Amino acid sequence: MTQPPQPDAFSESRLDSDAGAVFVLESKGKWWHAGFHLTTAIVGPTILTLPYAFRGMGWSLGLLCLTVMGCVTFYSYYLMSLVLDHCEKAGRRHIRFRELAADVLGSGWMFYFVVFIQTAINTGVGIGAILLAGECLQIMYSNLFPNGSLKLYEFIAMVTGVMIVLSQMPTFHSLRHLNFASLVLSLGYTFLVVGACIHAGLSKNAPHRDYSLESKSSSRMFSAFTSISIIAAIFGNGILPEIQATLAPPATGKMVKGLVMCYSIILVTFYSASASGYWAFGNKSNSNILKSLMPDDGPSLAPTMVIGLAVIFVLLQLFAIGLVYSQVAYEIMEKQSADVNQGMFSKRNLIPRLILRTLYVIFCGFMAAMLPFFGDINGVVGAIGFIPLDFILPMLLYNMTYKPPKSSIAYWINLLIIVVFTGVGIMGAFSSIRKLVLDATKFKLFSSDVVD
């Protein structure tokens, strides 16, 4: 079991005997490698859920929420990088979110809180990535073989098999080339989907566009908070310290460059995908906009080649995303099971790595097949996972580390963000879990349909 750090556990020398640090989180990367990792962690196929999030808020609130979330998360990640730089200069280089929180806040329970939240995020994203990848295969299969007999859970099993093989890549740093390809793929399918949505909206078969919200005020409120949670999940990553750990020391200032790279991609992809998808489909937007472009009850609303290429790009990127979010789990496994005094690829370390990572991926694949709730999973993970780690803790860590005077603007901005997003997180969790419970009546275990 993961143990909280001891008082002398934050010295640089302790990393040399830490298998999780030496093997999984080895520090060799450049700032652009961190940018690749960050972009893969944030700019994923979940952006195809943005039109679905907009249908719970409408144009004005949707665009406002997207902008506010972008500004707050950039600010949050910037503060986090400053705290990490400060600790490194003080001789306490942190490579794990949980240890950073325990060191700065001085509380053992905070260590376990971050472990729990990160586990929820990693597992939730792992399940969502496998589920969406399986859905992509199902989309391609249903168009090639309209009367085919294969079910969604069978495609999920195929994806799980591939993920088991890829999961054996030993270190976070070894993903740098894969994550650069992921960045290119995210731009590729975004442009393809935007073009497809514009084509669909202008075609003779264009769907009737209705941007109205739900009639009951309580339903509108719950839908809005669920949508906010979804957007929080899309902007979140929850593993910034682990990404910064891959940078060759000293890491000071390098993460900010990676953040600028990442948010440049975000600016291009998030706004174009959300605006084009919601414009074309309004409140009929699916939790995966690709399914809106290929309705079950009519012809495809965009060229099949364009949609097919976008689906392939999405599918390929999902493997990279699944790997990135699995690194914290793998690091915990490696720290507990590996012997740092033997080689990374020694029989002593290779066999436990193979077994533990395979079991983890199988678990995620099984849950994805059993509970096909892609949109709802995003909302719950955003509310209980990303909001605390990405919108609340960084502000608290900054105020505790740098101790800005209470008369300063920075102190009150950070406090305001903490208070507002604590409330949003509580309401978002309630709304998302409520929707999850309501949707539970619409599906069967191992269903072949993803519930919206």
Q: How far apart are CA 72 and CA 177, in angstroms?
A: 29
Does the pLDDT at position 259 exceed 90?
A: yes
Q: How far apart are CA 217 and CA 215, in angstroms?
A: 6
**For residue 223, what pLDDT is reported?**
84
Q: Which residue type does 370 have?
A: M
Which token pair is 120?
A: 């929820």
Q: How far apart are CA 396 and CA 407, in angstroms?
A: 16
Residue with tokens 């507990």: 336
How confident is the model over 327-355, as pLDDT tens digits? 989 998 888 888 888 888 889 999 999 99
Does the pLDDT at position 9 exceed 70?
A: no
Which token pair is 296?
A: 């079950």
Q: How far apart are CA 176 and CA 172, in angstroms?
A: 8
How confident is the model over 403-445, as pLDDT tens digits? 999 999 999 999 999 998 888 888 877 777 777 777 767 666 6
* pLDDT-based confidence at residue 214 (cuts at 50, 70, 90): confident
**For residue 176, what pLDDT is reported?**
94
**For residue 445, what pLDDT is reported?**
64
Which token pair is 112?
A: 């376990």
* Ranges 21-25, 62-66, 123-127, 214-218, most confident: 62-66
| pTM (predicted TM-score) | 0.89
How much is the average pLDDT of 229-250?
87
How confident is the model over 138-177, as pLDDT tens digits? 888 887 888 888 888 899 999 999 999 999 998 999 999 9
Q: How far apart are CA 436 and CA 19, in angstroms?
A: 38
Does the pLDDT at position 5 exceed 90?
A: no
Q: What angle do CA 210, 211, 213 make, to 5 degrees?
A: 115
**For residue 243, what pLDDT is reported?**
93
Q: How far apart are CA 206 and CA 300, in angstroms?
A: 10
Distance of CA 415 to the CA centre of its chain: 25
Does the pLDDT at position 448 exceed 60?
A: yes
Which token pair is 27?
A: 């520090």
**For residue 434, what pLDDT is reported?**
77
